[in-house]
Amino acid sequence: TEEDIARNNNRESMFALNQWAADYFQRYMYNEDEGRAVALTYFSSKRGFSDATIRKFGLGFCPSRGNRFAEDARSAGYKEEFLLSTGLTIQREGSSELRDRFYDRVMFPVHNVSGRVVAFGGRTLRTDKKVAKYQNSPESEIYSKSREVYCLFFAKKSIQQEDCVIMVEGYADVISMHQAGVENVVASSGTSLTEEQIRLVGRFTNNITLMYDGDPAGVKASMRGVDLILKEGMNVRIVLLPEEHDPDTFARAHTSEQLRDYIAREAQDFL
């Protein structure tokens, strides 16, 4: 029907804009003084990500001037309606001005299982407690938080080869594990595990290993996901990390081999 065609065109426009935005954020980080000083320093020095890793996952930076991205996107010919529907920009009530949702944040694109950019996570580097640490794209025609699994696109081949998926909590956890050579790792990124996420992963393997932080909150988070995974008829193992570590710091402190050995040795059957 005409409605279907219109909806499909809108979806394609949103995908195109998101891909352009991901490229823009990365270009800005590599080519502008602000991007290099703030974001590149953070990713490479603080997080220890290599250049190849940064480029693979499409990491970037959204300019700190609150409407710079919106202006550049419009100049490139992108329509206001899609800047708003993807959630890349926000319009205050009663104002015609567009503001960037992610201004002054380092950017993590979220890809769907076929590799298209459906959303973004932006992390502030400010220490101001009033500023939310993470800002995520809102739900849209192309993005449903409960249905996406961060990094599944990059991990699916390895998940099939290993016949096992390792589930961690955050963006940096996944990226550090991949960089350390363990690539069958994904994240539920900021949401409690949902049935849709478990089914999506279930297309590639029946075995899930949960690897959350070693602190009490991490233990609690892993327990929450277990019931759902068992309900979907999948096998669950849990790896608890030493209390002072999360998957990100643990991956950076060990070689690929040590990491694999630890997971193989410490993965306990949930029961």
pLDDT tens per residue, range 47-79: 999 999 999 999 999 999 999 999 999 999 999
Q: Which residues of the chain have pLDDT under 50?
A: none
Q: What is the pLDDT of residues 209-218, one digit of tens each?
A: 998 776 777 6
pLDDT confidence of residue 190: 62
pLDDT confidence of residue 220: 75
**Residue 23 CA neighbour count, 13 Å, CB half:** 10
**Strand (E) positions, 86-152?**
89-91, 98-100, 105-111, 117-124, 134-136
N-terminal to C-terminal alpha carbon distance within the chain? 51
Helices (H), 32-136: 33-35, 41, 51-56, 68-75, 80-85
pLDDT confidence of residue 95: 81
pTM (two decimals): 0.93
Distance of CA 211 to the CA centre of its chain: 16
